[in-house]
Amino acid sequence: MSSDERLERVRQSAAGLLYVRNRIAGELSALRADAARLEGARRSARLAEVERVERELAEAQVDARHALAALVAVHESLRARERQQLRARAAQLSVAAEVARELSEDPLEARFGALEGGRTGNL
């Protein structure tokens, strides 16, 4: 699985968990409002349901926090890998530039370069 696919998979998982959390929160709000309108045994039953949904919401919030933390971790890991690749590429370019500079300062190499370029008049 590529890093882009991994990031997208974690992103979708986090989005799904956030959706579930928000859906449960909406359900809880509606249950609380309903319980406030009821009386007697129906109210007690609705309050028991409110408590059950509150527990579900607490679990969903923990899951959502973990999913967001995982998303941040994967994103940071990818950014660290990109920075490492950029540093490696910069080091390669620096070495290549140093070699080119050394070769351009070598009189023998300059003569060979002139020969390769078809400029034999200076030799």
Q: Are 67 and 18 in contact (CB under 8 A)?
A: yes
pLDDT of residue 114: 60
Answer with the residue of higher pLDDT: 10 or 1.
10
What pLDDT digit, counting tens, does each position of 71-116 carry? 999 999 999 999 999 999 999 988 888 888 777 766 666 566 666 6
Q: Are 7 and 72 in contact (CB under 8 A)?
A: no
Q: Determine the length of the chain.
A: 123
pLDDT of residue 64: 94
Q: For residue 90, give Cα distances in angstroms to 38, 47, 77.
A: 70, 63, 20
